[in-house]
Amino acid sequence: MERKFTSIEQVMADLQSRAQSRLSGKLKKLEERGEDEFECPACRDTEFTFYFDKEGYETARPCECRERKAWKRRFKQSMIPDEFTNANFKNYQQFDDIQKKMYDTTLEYLKHFRMDVEDNQKNKTIPYQNFGLVAVFGEQRLKELPPSERSAMKQKHNNFGIGKTHLQIALAKHLIKEGFNVLVVSDVVFIEELMQAKMMNDEGETYNRLLHNTLTADVLIWDDIGKVNWTEARERMYYTIINERYRKQKPIVFNSNEDRGTLAEKIGYAAASRLIGQAEAFLIEAEGTD
C-alpha cells in the first residue's frame, strides 16, 4: 500500500520508523544466534561493548577485537598475492651486499611512517617520497641484444629473483599491521584490469572504483612496474595514476626489472620523471644472484 504524507515531519518520522524496524530485525537475529556462533562473544561481532558510566548513561566503547578485525580487513583489501602471504622481514634472506642494502634501506624508509593515537583518533604521518628497486641493465635491453649475448649479459646484470617483491610485501604487511591502508598491485594484471574496465558499458563505475582505490590508498605497492608492453593508452594510464599520487603527495613503493631508461620507455617519460624523481633518496639500482 502506497503511503501518503502531508508534511516533511511525517516523512522523517516514517524514515526513522523504518530504520528502527531494520535495526530491531538485525538485533533480533543476533540474539537468536548462540554464543558459539560469534567470533567474539564479548561484543557479539558488533566490535563495540556497552557499559553504564557514573551518571548511569549507557555508553559504547570499542571492543578489544576491533583492531584485530580491522587489521584483517586491511590485509584482505590490500590484495597481497597468495605466494607472499608468509613474506616478512625475519624470513628475508640476505646472501650478498645488495640484499643487505635493500633490507637496510627498506627499514630506513619505514622510519618515515608514524601512527599516533590521541583521543581514540589515529593521526598518520606518511612520507611523500617513493621507494623504488630497479635494474642496472633492464629486461628490455636484454631482449634487444643478439641471442648469443643475452645469457652472459643476464648473468652479469641479473635482476631476477633477488628478493625485491618479498621485501616490499614485508613492508606492506608491517604498515597494514600499524593501521595504514595499503594496496598491492601486480603490473600486468592491474593494467589489464584498468584497460578492460575503461571499455565496460557501465558508465565508468568499475573503472572509477578501481582508480579510486589506487589513488586513495595511503601506500601503493606496485610490483614489476613496466612489465606490460607499451601502448599509448597504457602510457596515459600510468601517467594518470602516478601524476595524481604525486599531486596528493602519496607514496608509491615500486620494483621493476627495467632500468631507469627502459622503465621510462615502458611507462612514458613524464610518468617516469614523476615516479623516479620522487624516489631519489630511496632508489636502488639492484642486481645480484638469482
What pLDDT digit, counting tens, does each position of 83-127 carry?
677 889 999 999 899 999 999 999 999 999 999 887 777 899 999
Mean pLDDT of the chain: 83
What pLDDT digit, counting tens, does each position of 226-277 carry?
999 999 999 999 999 999 999 999 999 999 999 999 999 999 999 999 999 9
CA dist 258 and 140 (Å) reads 7
What pLDDT digit, counting tens, does each position of 154-196 carry?
889 988 889 999 999 999 999 988 889 999 999 998 999 999 9
What's the whole-number mean pLDDT along residues 39-66?
A: 66
Cα-Cα-Cα-Cα dihedral of 204, 206, 208, 213, to 10°?
180
Element (H, E) at 58: strand 58-62
pTM, two decimals, is 0.74
* Euclidean distance between the first and the last CA atom of the chain, given in angstroms as a whole number: 71
pLDDT grade for 1, boundaries at 50, 70 and 90? very low
Contact predicate 247/239, CB 8 Å: no
